[in-house]
Chain A
């Protein structure tokens, strides 16, 4: 509208330009995407700007994974841009992956023009409907004047409270239509007020409960990583001198080399972590959700009496699978800060004698070294590759993984030292996540060593991203643990289906070295255990600046131990051969553990 006072006609810009300006205002560094008909206007606007870089993936699923891992490794919001119809549906797996792991991500999807919506137009899909169950929130923008404020809302919602992906579906005509541009500096949404501070009364109660504990355990999940509460977790653990276990998503929240760290709990958790989970008397759960892969069956988990303090930013995570004694809704960082202050002020500590005995017990569980495995002269053991990787990278690499046995071995053997160092699809378990995630993480951390741990099954689910790695010169190191099987499924078939390896042997695997070379990368094939370390050094040192695929031909029969079978309790683990038959309960000469089960 013409302004009669100033005589200036306000500049109206197209919806596509608004999108680009908003992303620049948000400080977006990379947009991971793939062009198509419905987003042509946006791509034209991207062509004309230089505020952010666009990363052209080779499949929309990879765009979502790369944006997701960019976020996981940088604390920033990941941004992904895709076209309508198949572009949008291809991204859904990546969106669901981010949703299950609470990753802040903004996904901009093109949509057919508003006049075409609902008419089965070419490349039309109801993206708002399709994505609804797997997003924190989504929007369909029907009017260009709503675009900027919607994008502001999307970033706000994605990154606050319990983070998650937000989809903005933008019809093509909205990207063409013009409006005045102004980007709100802040936004308030009356229906959305995520909690921050925890209730002081509850925090005091929690402190009192800790004071009564004889066998305390701190159980840390992905919420501590996403909530940037690693320092507070570490301080709490050290202040109380209490053992600590980090879930698959929480690895790195406490340094994996710290003496308080018991390893990961759950289906493939360590002996000591699982027994500590089962037999503790006070459990402090921090940003964890008592997932089925962690506690297995709730009734069995609770059959050993314990009192639970549960800190989570999402009230619906509390009392979802297990009832807790002291729920604290709040941002974990805030709550832990306040709790540490209360503990320091009051001097409350766990029962001293009890804690000493508890540590003795925990050390006794640690002693048999459940992660020991039989080394071989002939065959490469995958665990050995992980240990050597840790040594060669000084435990400092950012490690992404796909899904399966290799993921569990990475979680068990690569001792993550800091948060956001370990990037995997924990909740959804998405094969094909690792490679695009490694690219996203490398772009976010150009100076870091990035390793993608994968298997011969998973790598083929997004192998086209080798092309993206070439285009953007991301020197990721692909550690392919090639056992010619879909190993985790094979393991279950061995244990539970009478060795009937139904469709898990991968015949006709490609020549991975030639494949990597065809994409312009370096490939190293490793067949002997004695060559493992040298190959890793060659990849990480000699070819530091290049993307390298290391094809480790590993022992095809290796299984992941310990293992808690479906329906079993945490003290009913399948143990590795050197521990078979070992008692999975506290030592009898120890203090009274109540009703032992």
Chain B
């Protein structure tokens, strides 16, 4: 099963490699990983999307907690949560397709953030499935380039991950 692990980790050189090294050394999966410093610049927030049985997820959580630089780990799947991912997608936009691309972007609440005579670059935010759906909805040959951030997640309501 897919899990989203939210991790607070010291914003120190090498901290990221400890996390990725742990996953590769123990044979765990990383579907995506995002990381950036928080409002407190000494702390980073990492969102790791992984999958595995409950036993594996329990071990991943424990192993992450064991890393000296990890301050806290929560499994967002344990309660209501929100996840968002950002995609930048460059598409061919010529002739009839140009209007169609604009419409598609609107339908998916994407924004065109760069325009040339032949292309649009669309910014799209949402849960991963929405980005997948957008890609699916387009003619594959029209897609020139995609770049996705991987999911960032946060608990709903009063649930807060903080030290």
CA distance A191 to B21 in the complex (A): 19
Question: 0/1 per residue, A539-582, Cβ < 8 Å to B?
Answer: 00000000000000000000000000000000000000000000
Chain A residues with a Cβ closer than 8 Å to the other chain, count = 19
CA distance A189 to B12 in the complex (A): 13
B63 at the interface (CB under 8 A from A): yes
Q: Which of A157, A191, A316, A323 contacts B71 (CB 8 A)?
A: A191
| Closest A residue to B13 using CB positions | A140
CA distance A323 to B10 in the complex (A): 31
Those of A166-199 within 8 Å (CB) of chain B = 189-192
In the complex, identify which listed stretch (B45-53, B54-62, B145-153) lies at the interface while the others stay far away: B54-62
A189: chain B residues at CB < 8 Å are: 68
- CB proximity of A152 to chain B, nearest CB, Å: 14
| Closest A residue to B42 using CB positions | A190
Contact-residue bracket for chain B:
20 to 34
A136: chain B residues at CB < 8 Å are: 68
Some 25 contacts from A to B, beta carbons below 8 A apart, are: A128-B14, A129-B17, A132-B17, A132-B21, A133-B21, A133-B25, A137-B68, A137-B69, A140-B13, A140-B14, A157-B68, A190-B71, A190-B163, A191-B9, A191-B68, A191-B69, A192-B68, A315-B62, A315-B65, A316-B59, A316-B62, A316-B65, A316-B66, A319-B55, A319-B59
- CB proximity of A537 to chain B, nearest CB, Å: 48
Partner-A contacts on B (CB < 8 A):
9-10, 13-14, 17-18, 21, 25, 55, 58-59, 62-63, 65-66, 68-71, 163
Extra 6 A-B pairs, beta carbons < 8 Å, given A314-B66, A323-B55: A133-B25, A189-B68, A190-B71, A191-B9, A319-B58, A320-B59
CA distance A319 to B14 in the complex (A): 29
B58: chain A residues at CB < 8 Å are: 319
- CB proximity of A554 to chain B, nearest CB, Å: 39
- CB proximity of B58 to chain A, nearest CB, Å: 6
B163: chain A residues at CB < 8 Å are: 190
B65: chain A residues at CB < 8 Å are: 315-316
B59: chain A residues at CB < 8 Å are: 316, 319-320
B25: chain A residues at CB < 8 Å are: 133
| Closest B residue to A192 using CB positions | B68
A319: chain B residues at CB < 8 Å are: 55, 58-59
CA distance A319 to B17 in the complex (A): 26
